[in-house]
Amino acid sequence: MSFLLYQISGESGREQYKFVRGIQLTGQTGPLCILSRSLNTEKRIPFNWHVSGKKIIQILKGSPTEQAIVLDLAPRSTGKVSLYRLLDVWGVSYANWTPLALRLRALIADQKEANPFALKNSFADPGTDHSLVGQFLSVRGGVSEGTWNWGKLGATSGVLLSCDAFNYLSAALKQSI
- For the chain, what is the mean pLDDT? 90
Q: Which residues make Cβ contacts (< 8 Å) with residue 37, sequence separation at least 6?
A: 143
For residue 52, the cross-strand partners are 88
Question: What pLDDT is stored for residue 127 in this prediction?
Answer: 79
pTM of the model: 0.88
Domain ranges of the chain: 2-176
Q: Which residues make Cβ contacts (< 8 Å) with residue 72, sequence separation at least 6?
A: 1, 2, 3, 4, 81, 82, 83, 120
Q: Which residues make Cβ contacts (< 8 Å) with residue 125, sequence separation at least 6?
A: 10, 13, 14, 15, 16, 17, 107
Question: What pLDDT is stored for residue 154 in this prediction?
Answer: 47
Question: What pLDDT is stored for residue 32 in this prediction?
Answer: 97
4-13, 91-100, 130-139: least confidently modelled range? 130-139
Question: What pLDDT is stored for residue 44 in this prediction?
Answer: 97
Per-residue pLDDT tens over the stretch 31-80: 999 999 999 999 999 999 999 999 999 999 999 999 999 999 989 888 99
Q: Which of 147, 68, 161, 74 is nearest to 173 (CA)?
A: 161
Distance CA 45, CA 165 (A): 12
Question: What pLDDT is stored for residue 85 in this prediction?
Answer: 95
Distances (CA, A) of 98 to 53, 90, 152, 156, 162: 18, 10, 14, 13, 11
If pLDDT is split at 50, 70 and 90, which confidence band does 103 have? very high
